[in-house]
Structure 1
Amino acid sequence: MTTRYSNVLNQHGHCFYMPIRVTVLSHLSADENSITQSSYSILIMVQGGDGYIEINNERLHLTPGCVLSFPGSATFKLPPQSGLHGVWIEYTGVMPDGLMKSPLDNDLIPQLRKCPAQITGLGGELHSAWTKPQADKPFAVQALFTDLIMKVNSTPMVTSVVESSSGWLPLVLQYIDEHYSEDLTRSQMAGLAGVSPEHFSRSFRNTTGQTFSAYLSLLRIRKAQERLLTGTPNLSHLALEVGYGEGTYLSRKFKQFVGLSPTAYHSKNKRIVTLNYNHTASLRALEITPQLGPYSAWLESLDTVPTARKLSLEARRASAVFHSVASARPDVIISYSLYGENKQLLALAPVIELPFMQMSWREQFTLIAEVAGRRLQAEEWLQRYDQRCHEANLQLDRNMGARGTAIVWEIGHGCAYCFSSSYGRGCQVLYNDLGFKLPQAIIDQDISNRGFIKTAIEDIPDYPADHIIITGLPDDPQGLQRIDRLFHSEQWRQLEAVRTSRVHILDQPDMFYGFDPLSSQAQLHVLLRVLTS
């Protein structure tokens, strides 16, 4: 029987592809030497972040939407702290008479595609099905993987990873960022880009608006400013840190670019610009109004802010933001790590980049206070907040004893999101300050690394918890109909939290969006009220 089927398959030449390993990129990059080669074909689907992978000793720049395929016979390394979020798939093609090379592989040359979110999202679904198999869906992994590789194969390839300055420039800028304190030369950078020194200089200036030498000098001065903003380094030591031989030369270059000496810059009251709601709120907690910053509707309701100091994020374009920030004449800009956008802003002022999902709101608040010269005030604010948390926990101890699990849902147009403590929405208060635990169902889906999980509204009951908190509801008729059907479904009614009246519908998405001191304080107040009512 086996021989008969093998002959039929050989006659028609069919090959079947199946996954061998499915994991998340963060698990691989945690160990620098975890993988260097594989026996199988590899597919990388980038869902978030910005970083690099080394293949055959060449670094490739990957951003959200990138799908990279290459044979496992290539040598490769995903550096630690690569900053990439997504899915790593190892798979093989099988025929009765042996293994078959994937059509997504081309010798040792990686194939790069830019795919829409619906395709990269299939990678997340495949990872969920792989790590949490369901007995009633025995073919889920096979079906998802087949659908995935068919869609990837039908997506056109990017013709070349490094065919122009748009390909090699991010690589060069990243290298300069990491090695600016060294003796870098134009010839070195041209060699890194794989172009002639003349072509490098022309392309570099056309793209960045500066010569390589001017860009490097500006970067070194901005790094010196960052160090002065968060400490009081010795000038001679600081000069060596940023690539200059002595303090007097640094002081001269510093004044050339900044217009002040390092000492004068360190002691002056800074004109601060923020680029997101959380950092604006951190400054407001310190009783500072940024020179320019965005305000959520909830944050704006707390205080009157002059229109000239509001940064609009509606239909935000990089050029519009640049011109708005330039008009504010900032001494420092505070932002999350947004590589391309922040690079442009370096021409205006040093950019203090706070890594997203890697720093708690307390750590961000403390660093911002250091930049603003309000470290003591921040410590006093946190002491008062910690006292409120202590009192809240005593009240919860009296009312409910052991906390149990809790889940926070924000329900939007056609889908629902739940979060980890690194994504705000009150989860930093529930899990870090009040002692509630994440439900096992979202732990199994690696929410700690992913930050959030997206699911259909109808699938919310698949994530049971002792307490269910809904911070936002859809405002469209179709979404409201789906919510109504959910609340009347038997699956919803059978949830323990529903039967014991531990579902809290708050519908305050604007306030719960915040991941900052003021929002956390307000979220603590609301959560305590509903949990003890």
Structure 2
Amino acid sequence: MDASIFTLKSASRLQLQHQASTLQVEFPSFIAAEGGVKVKLGRRTVTLQNGVMMFLRPWQQIKLLSSGTPNVRIHYIAFESYRLMEESDNRMLYHVDWSILPESGWVSPNLSQRAYSQLRQLTEAPIAGKISSRAKRYMLEELLDFVFSGDGGGKEDVHYDKLIDEAIAYVHGHYEEPITRAQLAGMAGFNETYFSTLFRKRTGWGFSEYLNRFRIGKAKERLLASDQTLHEIALSVGYKSGLYLSRKFKAVTGMTPGQFRSLPKPARIAAFQFVGHLLALGVQPIATDAIILHHSLLLKDELRDVHTVSEQYGADDLKSLGVDLILAPTYFYHTPDKMKQLEEIAPVVTLDWAKLDPLEEVRLIGKLVGKEAAAEQWINRYLAKARYARLRLAEHIKPNETVALYEIREQSIGIWNRTLRGAYNLYNSLGMTAPERIQQEVLLPDKPMYITESELPEYAADHMFVVICDSPDYEGELNRMLREDEAWRSLPAAKHNRIYPLKLEECWSCEGLSLEKQLEKQVEWLLSGHVIQH
């Protein structure tokens, strides 16, 4: 029997009243926000960023303040913690115990997609009402396990998660090859049984089912975007024959590969990523979710009439819209319930998000939806704009000057690779040169990295684009940093007015039309400079 157990007291979505609300905390609690909210705890005020949770101990009052971001969603979970104090053959006595809980104000590491899904399911009233009390307890325990595994006392769990993530990455990169559970368990350093337990805990799927569904997803992509035979597709996704692929495909989708390939080209597409690509093709998605809309500020006019479905991608919402294709990122495989629910509504095609060259991604989606000509037209238009921008910048950016993109996080500074935050425009389309360390440590291995503020001078460029998160006055926030923070104020780029602010909600992705509009803003900053406002 567990020495500690947790019971759910309440789970709800909170609303800010007149830009501020007061909350009396009665039980150990977690609070999280989508869109950013400020939490005033005593004399301390913390901006709660997307993807993290703050822990609150009982018997205190906090104030929730708007950060100025519209459509903020605040999730609140209260629970109780008990510890086993006495045990006999026929009796176990638990007492309330908070000794294993962190101090009030503790902020978790970034949550995984699956952890955030658990949080939303618990706090979304229509969904939560359909979940049994026993299931809620399991979900709470899993969520708390996710949250606390990133703490200093959970280093072993974090290490195990990293090893499983490496196994998942291996599947994504080698799915066309023979892959066995024993092979990946050996690579991770576990026996097969323990590997299976850890894999299910991390993803929600058994290993074989995850591998099979990922391969079927790749087969769907090829069925719609290529002229390959069924046998060729089978070999390209790791199956030994077209007949074997057909059996697996029908078991997952309910239709044969031939039936899937013969589906009419979609006209009503729900997109949970990739909206910028669809708009570049002249296709307006019929639906998306609130998070995508929040982070697509440059597309607000084009997305004005797009339906926002509930956070749990409710079946009723999508069915009522007559959706005939759902585009989803492969990270949705980390939330099995969500994937299965979507598959009951319409055919689902999953694509790796922010992995491909954005122009190749436009071409791929053009093939999937029958818009190949529109894809080439948009690519030619975008490249023409990039060529013209290079000519305009030639007199302003000297050949030996460097350019790079950074993102301010609560405890670190992110440096992005080419496929996020508009970095593709800088390095690929405009042909800018990054500082040597960024070239070697970020661009060549093609992966982002995080540095401390003290390390910033080693990675600083002559021209620096800085992404500000969850701040309505992002230019003002950057001006404050440049006035008050010596680490930033002393940079050569700051002294020459060459640090340019970008709003996260405008440059979250490098998708099609978003990328094109980001290019215009980036070029204007490089031409005009950024003068600090005192």
TM-score, normalization: structure 2?
0.53
With over 3 angstroms needed to count, the CA separation of the structure-2 counterparts of 1:473 and 1:335, relative to structure 1, is closer
Partner of 1:92: none
- The Cα offsets for residues 152-187 of structure 1, whole Å up to 9 and x where unpaired, read as xxxxxxx95546994695212135347x8xxxxxxx
Q: Which 5+ residue runs of structure 1 have no aligned equivalent?
A: 1-45, 51-62, 70-75, 86-107, 113-158, 181-218
Alpha-carbon separation, structure 2, partners of 1:485 and 1:394: 32
1:282, 1:368 within 8 Å by CA — same for their partners in 2? yes
Matches for 1:114-513 after TM superposition, within 5 Å:
160-162=194-196, 166=200, 169-177=205-213, 225-234=220-229, 257=254, 262=259, 265-276=262-273, 279-294=274-289, 295-296=293-294, 298-303=297-302, 305-306=304-305, 309-311=307-309, 316-317=311-312, 320-321=313-314, 324-338=317-331, 339-341=333-335, 343-344=339-340, 345-402=342-399, 404-413=401-410, 415-423=412-420, 425-443=421-439, 445-446=441-442, 449=445, 451-456=447-452, 460-472=456-468, 475=471, 484=480, 487-505=483-501, 507-513=502-508
1:531 aligns with 2:530: no
Query: 1:402 offset after TM fit, Å?
Result: 1.0
Partner of 1:88: none
Alpha-carbon separation, structure 1, partners of 2:441 and 2:299: 36
3-state DSSP of counterpart to 2:426: helix
The letter of the residue matching 1:283 is: L
- How many pairs does the alignment contain? 350
Query: 1:283 offset after TM fit, Å?
Result: 0.9
The letter of the residue matching 2:382 is: Y
Query: 1:260 offset after TM fit, Å?
Result: 11
1:293, 1:310 within 8 Å by CA — same for their partners in 2? yes
With over 3 angstroms needed to count, the CA separation of the structure-2 counterparts of 1:473 and 1:457, relative to structure 1, is farther
1:458, 1:482 within 8 Å by CA — same for their partners in 2? no
1:336, 1:354 within 8 Å by CA — same for their partners in 2? yes
Q: Which 5+ residue runs of structure 2 have no aligned equivalent?
A: 1-109, 115-145, 158-163, 174-187, 529-534
3-state DSSP of counterpart to 2:226: coil
Alpha-carbon separation, structure 1, partners of 2:487 and 2:260: 65
Larger Rg: 1 or 2? Answer: 1
Name the Cα RMSD after superposition: 4.9
2:250, 2:256 within 8 Å by CA — same for their partners in 1? no
The letter of the residue matching 1:352 is: V
With over 3 angstroms needed to count, the CA separation of the structure-2 counterparts of 1:522 and 1:226, relative to structure 1, is closer
1:409, 1:417 within 8 Å by CA — same for their partners in 2? yes
Alpha-carbon separation, structure 2, partners of 1:49 and 1:370: 29
Query: 1:454 offset after TM fit, Å?
Result: 3.1
- The Cα offsets for residues 191-241 of structure 1, whole Å up to 9 and x where unpaired, read as xxxxxxxxxxxxxxxxxxxxxxxxxxxx5xx77654332134557877998
With over 3 angstroms needed to count, the CA separation of the structure-2 counterparts of 1:266 and 1:243, relative to structure 1, is farther
1:411, 1:457 within 8 Å by CA — same for their partners in 2? no
2:113, 2:335 within 8 Å by CA — same for their partners in 1? no
The letter of the residue matching 1:334 is: L
With over 3 angstroms needed to count, the CA separation of the structure-2 counterparts of 1:444 and 1:374, relative to structure 1, is closer
- The Cα offsets for residues 317-354 of structure 1, whole Å up to 9 and x where unpaired, read as 4xx45554455444332122122336423444443222
- Determine which structure has greater relative contact order: mean sequence separation of CA pairs < 8 Å that are 6+ residues apart, divided by chain length: 2
Alpha-carbon separation, structure 2, partners of 1:267 and 1:401: 52
Alpha-carbon separation, structure 1, partners of 2:403 and 2:394: 16
3-state DSSP of counterpart to 1:471: strand
Query: 1:474 offset after TM fit, Å?
Result: 6.1
User: Identity across aligned pairs (percent)?
Assistant: 21
